[in-house]
Amino acid sequence: MPGIVIVATAEGQGTNPAALELLGGGAGLAKALGCPLEAVLVSGSGTDPAGPAAKLFAGGARRVYSVRHERLGNGSPEAALEALTAACRRAEPRVVLFSADRLGLEVAPRLAHRLGGSMITDAVALEVRDGDVVATRPAFGGKAMEQVAARATPQVVTVKLRALEPAALDESRSGELVEVPVDLDPGVDRVKLVERVEEAAEGPKLETARVVIGGGRGVGGAENFKQLEELARVLGAALGASRAAVDEGWVPASWQIGQTGKAIASDLYIAVGISGASQHTAGISGVKTIVAINTDPEAPIFERAHLGVVGDHKAVVPALTARLKELLGK
Amino acid sequence: MNIVVCLKQIIDYEIPPRAFRIDRQKKKPAMPDASLVIGPFDENALEVALQLREKAGGGRITAVSMGPESAIEALRKALAVTADEAVLLSDPAFSDLDPFGTARVLGAAIKKLGGADLVLTGRQSGDWDAGQVGQLLAEELGAPCVNFAFRAEPGGDGRVRLYKETPGGAEILEAGTPVVATVTNAETNQLRLAKVRDLMAANRKPVPTWSAADLGLDPAALAAGRIEVLDLYVPTYDARCEFVTGETPEDKASALARRLVELKLV
Amino acid sequence: MDLSNPMREVYWNITGKNLMYVLLVPVLVAFFRGFYSKYRLWKIGRPTRRRDNWRRRLAGFFRGAVVQEKNFRDRYSGWMHFFIWGGMLVLFIGTANVALDEYLGVPTMEGLFYLYFQSLVLDVFGLLAIVGLAMALYRRYVVRPPRLHRTPQDAVFLGLLLLVLVTGFVIEGLRIAVTEDPWAAWSPVGWAFAAAFRATGMAAETMVGLHRFSWWFHLALAFAWIACVPYTKLTHLVTSPANIYMRSLGPKGRLEPINLETAEFLGASNLRHFTWKQLFDLDACTECGRCQDACPAHATLKPLNPKAVVLDLRDYMHEYGPLYLRRAQDDPWAAPAETPDGRPVPVMVGAVIAEDALWSCTTCRACMEACPVEIEHVPAIMDMRRFLAMDQASMPEGMADAIRSLETRGHPFRGTGGARTDWLQGLDVPVLDLSAGGGTRGAAGGAGADGAGPDADFDVLWWVGCAMAFDERNQKVARSLARVLHRAGVRFAILGNREKCTGDAARRIGHEYLFQTLAGENVATLNQALGNGRPRRIVTACPHCYNTLKHEYPDFGGHYDVVHHTEFIRELVDSGRLKLDGEVRETITFHDPCYLGRYNDVYDAPRKTLKDLSGAEVREIERARESSFCCGGGGALVFVEERIGTRINQTRARQAAETGARTVCTACPFCMTMLADGLKTTSGDEVQALDLAELVDRATAPAGPAAVGAGTGASPGDGSR
């Protein structure tokens, strides 16, 4: 019986964390559609799939299709696509859930094409209506939300991280582990890796970061940016600044966000000590959620912010960092 | 080397949330005065193509856009930065296509052009942001696909060297042709300004329009979409600032941290 | 000797004076050859009309070249220069009179004319010339103001001139001493010299010999000096007055349009692309450095110095110009590539004039205002920018972003995709509906706003401008002005989203193509909006829009009656429609926006209104009116990150704060942006920047100043520009 298949990747003896979220969300769909919940486990050749598979069983998967190949460990989407196609041909799923990470972003649409199914990306919520998956996803840079129904099967969906409640693990559960032989088409060699360049700079780039923390004149000095750096480390955020802070020489010019600096499009932007002059806000129109921390309740930044704290950042930011460390278990 | 760059004309992505309006019945944005622009990543793709042609010391860049008549402006802009040719794909049957339909049309157009060594698209459109068309186009053309590319250079033996952004840095890849690459932004690929002489020449250049019939596509088959948009709405949380309260700065910080976690923002 | 007829013997003690004419030949040859070769270089430039309207030109010539008004703005320089050139001129006339007497029999060397003019006046002016030279030497070599540089040339020709004058008096003194001239007292300086010679106890024989030697020496020096004229900066004796006569008579704010359909080149990248007048400018420069002193870019350590631009171009023209005279290669507009001995000719834009220098120009026109000989620096800089912007598509990143935004969105503010009518939320501001059906249309989001067709009842079209519509700080100014217009009962309307950037930003970047595109669209819109019915005016609060609408749109078929809001408010106050009853207890200083003041001579209207505010105390900044110091935002530099040197806006903010005023009033959205930012950095929250409309809003608010004041003050917050 065609089921819900979630795509997991092996990480050591477990899986990628998002797999549990997919199992959690997938269980809801399986229940609504009355079909089984299964998983495809992608792993490199050196990995024993039994461990990760056990995690998937514990998370609610009834069957795990394991695809294993040395080419699957190095992030080659061409190889992953071949392997996943093989696995899905075997599983004949009704719904395929990917996490909207690099694997999902790079492979899911092509998989849907190969399987003759439908594709929805970046879902933040899933439901079933009239037997079809209906996903809610942001569009227009988060300025609108759309609800999209899949109308061709298999219904492939990539789901944003943390959109779904992770499945509760029940180690007593077990299931069937099916090894799917992977016979990679020579086509995967059409793209060859020449060199891998590891970025020396720590932290993500401003333009592509999902979380950005920006400091303005109100931060009050170069040394105070250290507090923001600490917060950025906890959140895996990139650091930016308003022109005022750059002007003061507290931070390098490459940090500047705004009309004469960089434009960011992060999911979250925390503006600290930034009043919100249009020079600056010009660069944050693509941000989905803006959080402002400022002593002045009248600061224009609060007109643009979704969440606001009126207070002295010198006290708020370290406390926030500490609290987030606890909550995120870091 | 034949390079095809696919461009989408979209509603200005810089419209701020407070000015963003939609027509919920039509499930479309409703801002008649809004500017129409080229998708930001499509502009990056065009720049990558221009730089590749420079580095290769030659080659032919064809800009292709599927859209209404107005999309010719996007193509003129491509011609102005010295794309060699432009083709507009316009037909009532092409309106409101899902990414599969779009890829089908673009694929047919590229085949009609005689194929391409490298097809470049933006990593996502900048409006609906499905981020699928480039990859689906690769399937249509039976070509491999390199995503998040930010730079292209001529490789050995007629191959293309592509620089791919990865979470940890970058990968340098070499691909045989044909290959599709979806392009992301980087410091090096902001679209250049046009020289005025080229701008004026671009206005005089003919831009052919191809319809479904020209591409040998069946409108009915295209219309059968694989997805259906049920609703489009403006989320309400954008409306006003929610002030986090507390007695002390520490209280406020704790409350903010909780809200961030509740809202799945961190 | 007939004592009743004062006279002296011409050519006393001189034999073989005709040798003088033999010597004169090579002098004249050198003189005219020099100017002819200069003339050939000027002719490299394109044609332009600069000899029309002789009456106006002559009037300007009188003020500029005869009275030399601008020279006297610096008193010391003014008198110094007047003494030198006045002395030279009078002495030259005196010398010419001798020739008239000798060859034409005009009795200039006898009678009262001889006594008063040839003796007394000449002596006095000769002395004044020496005084002037002493002042010049003292200033250049002792005071050493930075605007003057010191070349060997300066020392040589000042010294030479001093020697000519001194030897002149030596000759006169010796003659008087030997001939015991009864009218010697009428030549007081010569008389003093004579007394000195006599006091030395020198023998008459010796004096006669010395006189003869001095006479020839004086002649040789004077001839040498004349021969030098076309080869040194003495050229300005001829070229500067001519340049003043041929100055631009057009509106100061109008740039020469380019016919893009027929243009064979875009902007200026070599000498051929300039007009002959622009090349003539280079030789008219006196190297006085007033432009350098006036330039805000130079004052803040930018690589731009208007004096250096002129002199570097001049040197380039003198060195490589002759190569342009050879028949050009295939392209008649190309620059010569190399010298006959194979050296490459440096590129004019990039090497001779650095790109950074060109992009540092705020087009504030302070240099041109200061230039005593009417050199046109800004149009030349603009022509080179046009080359960079259009031919090379090369410009600073902030400007490129502004161009991109203008191309797609019709306004230069990157990252702003909102509607032009966002600012009028909650205000009753009618938006014209120019769509085919006409009728009425509410502004997007403007609750209660009435729409109005082109036939609607309005007297004044308010051109809002992009900065007022999109920039948050300036939106407050727009809201203030809307209230003020309502209170005065002005029937006005705005164009809403049909308004596009006037194109000033594009034009001052150098992107003439984009400017003309925008101008074409706007002229069509305005002609439709203003076309039928009674004459209507355009009012705008942006001096850049004002200048472009008023002076630049006529070239594109748009002829409008345009007033700036400072002028319009003045009219409303004068006619009693606006009563400035409310108290505005502020010490205020007014910052003159360049495009309002220097470009359009509107200085008094805003000042009068400020003085009328009850409770306000107005103080002047040192650099006010014609010599106002730019905010740093002109020439589209408001869009550029100022990375080199110090910041112009902070410099200006300090100048304003030095007056002790707590409010800096301005009347330009770019000045507002720049000054508010500069003041925040230099004065914290001590000094605020307000637009005149905001002060008038407070003074006219029915609820009293306090209630409205809160809504019109500078934006609060800790600042992040």
The pLDDT value recorded for residue C9 is 86
Helix or strand holding residue C374 (H, E): none
A196 burial via Cβ count (<10 Å: 0-12, 13-18, 19+): middle
Q: What is the distance in angstroms between the Cα of A94 and the nearest Cα belonging to chain B?
A: 14
One-letter amino acid for residue A127 of the chain: E
Q: Bigger pLDDT: C153 or C554?
A: C554
- What number is the average pLDDT over the span C612-629? 96
Interface subset of B 22-41, CB within 8 angstroms of C: 33-37
C1 within some domain: no
* Continuous H helices in C488-575: 504-509, 512-531, 543-547, 565-574
Domain-located, residue C676: yes
DSSP state of B69: G
Q: Are residues C366 and C434 in the same domain?
A: no
Q: Contact A137/A145 with Cβ under 8 angstroms?
A: yes
Contact C450/C491 with Cβ under 8 angstroms? no
Q: Is omega for the bond preceding A154 within 30 degrees of 0, making it cis?
A: yes
The CATH 3.40.50.1220 domain(s) of chain A lie at 211-328
Best mutation target among B196, B197, B198, B204 (most C Cβ atoms within 10 Å) is B196
Q: What pLDDT was estimated at residue C415?
A: 62
**What are C253-264's pLDDT values in tens digits?**
999 999 999 999
Query: What integer pLDDT is reported at residue A245 of this predicted model?
Result: 84
- What pLDDT, on the 0 to 100 scale, is given for residue C566? 98
- Same domain? For C354 and C467 the reply is no
Residue C48, CA distances (Å) to B263, C43, C84, C247, C385 in order: 68, 11, 33, 12, 20
Closest among A253, A263, A309, A301 to A284, alpha carbons compared:
A263
CB nearest A243 (choices: C413, C471, C720):
C720
**Given a cut of 90, is residue A187 above it in pLDDT?**
no
Q: What is the average pLDDT across C647-661? A: 96
Tell whether C377 and C237 lie within a shared domain. no
Residues C484 and C542 reside in one and the same domain: yes
Contact C390 B35 (CB under 8 A): no
pLDDT for position A282: 65
Asked if C684 is an interface residue toward chain A (Cβ–Cβ < 8 A), one would say no
Minimal CA–CA distance to B258: which of B238, B244, B248?
B244
- Is the pLDDT assigned to residue C654 strictly greater than 60? yes
CATH, residue C370 = 1.10.1060
Residue C579 and residue C712 share a domain: yes
User: Is 80 exceeded by the pLDDT of residue A194?
Assistant: yes
Q: Where in chain A is the domain with CATH 3.40.50.620?
A: 4-188
pLDDT of residue C453: 53
Which subunits count as partners of chain A given 3+ CB pairs below 8 Å? Answer: B, C
What residues of chain A lie within 8 A of the CB of B179, using their CB? Answer: 190-191
List the single residue in A216, A243, A256 with the smallest CB-CB distance to C718.
Answer: A216
- The percent of residues above 70 in pLDDT, for chain C, comes to 93
Asked if residue C703 and residue C559 are part of one domain, the reply reads: yes
Instruction: Note down the domain range covering C314.
Output: 271-338+345-394
Residue A76: is its pLDDT beyond 90?
no
Decide if pLDDT at C563 tops 90: yes
Domain end residue (candidates: C394, C425, C458)? C394
pLDDT score, position C414? 75
pLDDT reading at C713 higher than 50: no
Interchain contact C392–B (C-beta under 8 A): yes
- Spatial contact of A269 and A261, defined as CB atoms under 8 Å apart: no
Chain B partners within 8 Å of A147 (Cβ): 229-232
- Model pLDDT, residue B15: 80
- To the nearest whole percent, how much of chain A has pLDDT over 70? 95
Residue C675 within a domain: yes
Q: Are strands B22-23 and A268-272 parallel, antiparallel or unpaired?
A: unpaired
pLDDT greater than 60 at residue C488: yes
Separation of alpha carbons B133 and B138, rounded Å: 9
* Residue C261 lies inside a defined structural domain of this protein: no
Tokens of C204: 């008459």
- What CATH number is given to the structural domain containing C60? 1.20.950
| pLDDT attached to residue A202 | 62
pLDDT in tens, A233-272: 999 999 999 877 876 778 876 788 875 567 787 889 999 9
E runs forming strands in C340-477:
431-432, 451-452, 460-463
* Chain A residues touching residue C413 (CB < 8 angstroms): 259, 278, 282
Beta bridge partners of C663: C588, C688
The mean pLDDT value of chain C amounts to 91
3-state helix, strand, coil in chain B (%, to 5): 35, 25, 35
| Residue carrying the six token digits 């105390």 | C617
C-alpha distances (whole Å) from A61 to each of A81, A131, A171 are 22, 21, 12
Take residue C430 and report the two structure tokens written for it: 């009618």
Last residue of a domain, one of C192, C211, C245: C245
User: How crowded is residue A2: how many other Cβ atoms within 10 Å of its Cβ?
Assistant: 15
Q: For A211-328, CATH number?
A: 3.40.50.1220
Alpha-carbon torsion C403, C405, C410, C413, what sign? Answer: negative
Contact A308 B237 (CB under 8 A): no
Residue of C nearest to A279 (CA): C721
Q: Residue C35 falls within a domain, yes or no?
A: no
- How does pLDDT run across C141-155, given as a tens digit for each residue? 999 999 999 888 888
Q: Whose CA is closest to C558, among C591, C518, C594, C598?
A: C518
In a domain, C46, yes or no: no
Triad C127, C131, C135: Cα angle to 5°: 165
Span A302-314, mean pLDDT?
89
Inter-chain contact A295–C716, Cβ cutoff 8 Å? Answer: no
pLDDT of C440 strictly over 60: no
Rounded CA-CA distance B123/B101 in Å is 17
A4-188 adopts what CATH topology?
Answer: Rossmann fold (3.40.50)
Same domain, yes or no: C324 and C462: no
How many inter-chain contacts (A to C, CB under 8 Å) are there?
A: 97
Identify whether residues C241 and C311 lie together within a single domain.
no
- Cβ pair C379, C255 in contact under 8 A: yes
Residue C44 domain flag:
no
A vs B, Cβ pairs < 8 A, gives 241
Q: Which pLDDT tens digit goes with each residue over C100-109? A: 998 998 999 9
Indicate the DSSP class of residue C275: B
The reported pTM is 0.88
Reported confidence tier of residue C443, pLDDT bands at 50, 70, 90: very low
Confidence (pLDDT) at C1: 52
Better pLDDT: B265 or A283: B265
User: Closest chain C residue to B193 measured between Cα atoms?
Assistant: C393
Q: Tokens at residue C400, please? A: 């490129």
In the complex, which subunits touch C with 3 or more CB pairs below 8 angstroms? A, B
Q: Do C381 and C424 belong to one domain?
A: no
What are the distances in angstroms from CA A245 to CA A53, A219, A296, C160, C645?
A: 50, 8, 17, 57, 17
Q: Which of C394, C418, C434 is the last residue of a domain?
A: C394
pLDDT single digits (tens) A44-62: 888 899 999 999 999 999 9
Render each residue's pLDDT in chain B as its tens digit; 266 residues: 999 999 999 998 878 777 789 999 999 999 888 889 999 899 999 999 999 999 999 999 999 999 999 999 999 999 999 999 999 999 999 999 999 999 999 999 999 999 999 999 999 998 998 999 999 999 999 999 999 999 999 998 889 999 998 877 789 999 999 999 999 887 789 899 999 999 999 999 999 999 999 999 999 999 888 999 999 998 764 447 889 988 888 999 999 999 998 888 88
Residue found under tokens 């200005």? B12
List the single residue in C393, C395, C444 with the smallest CB-CB distance to B194: C393
For C527-539, b/e burial (b = at least 16 CB within 10 A) is eebbeeeeebebb
Which tokens sit at C39? 């003339």
Quote ipTM for the complex: 0.90
What confidence tens digit (pLDDT) does each residue in C171-190 have? 999 999 999 888 999 999 99
Residues C65 and C126 in one domain: yes
Query: Taking Cα atoms as reference points, which of B35, B94, B92, B24 lies closest to residue B64?
Result: B94
Mean pLDDT to the nearest integer, A86-100: 96
Backbone angles phi, psi at C718, to 5 degrees: -95, 0
pLDDT at C532 over 80: no
Same domain, yes or no: C354 and C380: yes
Nearest chain A residue to C416 by CA distance is A282
CA distance C287 to C457: 57
**Contact (CB<8Å) C719/A253:** no
The nearest CA of chain A is from the CA of B144 a distance in Å of 7
Among the residue ranges B106-110, C198-202, C238-242, C591-595, the one predicted with the least confidence is C198-202
Residue C302: name the closest of C668, C637, C701 by CA: C637
Check if C237 contacts B (Cβ < 8 Å): no
List, in sequence order, every beta strand (DSSP E) within chain B.
2-7, 9-11, 22-23, 28-29, 36-38, 60-66, 85-89, 118-122, 145-154, 160-166, 169-175, 179-183, 209-210, 227-233, 242-243
Which of A183, A156, A171, A237 lies closest to A67 in space, CA to CA?
A183
Q: Is B156 on the interface with A (CB under 8 A)?
A: no
User: Å from B16 to nearest chain C CA?
Assistant: 6
Number of domains chain C contains: 3
Distance CA A277, CA C716 (A): 10
Closest CA to C500 of C483, C479, C488, C516: C516
**CA end-to-end span of chain B:** 45
Are C417 and B12 an interchain contact pair (Cβ–Cβ within 8 Å)? Answer: yes
**Res. C703 pLDDT band, cuts 50 70 90:** low
Q: How far is CA C714 from the centre of its chain?
A: 33
- CB-based contacts of B262, cutoff 8 Å, min separation 6: none
Q: Which residues of B82-92 are buried (b: 16+ CB within 10 A; e: fewer)?
A: bbebbbbbbbe
Degrees to nearest 5, angle at CA B27 with B21 and B28:
50
Same structural domain for residues C178 and C211? yes
Q: For residue C37, tell me if it sits in a domain.
A: no
Identify the DSSP state of A222.
G
Q: Which of A279, A295, A310 to mutate to test the interface with C (most CBs of C within 10 A)?
A: A279
pLDDT at C446 over 80: no
Q: Assess whether pLDDT exceeds 80 at residue C646.
A: yes
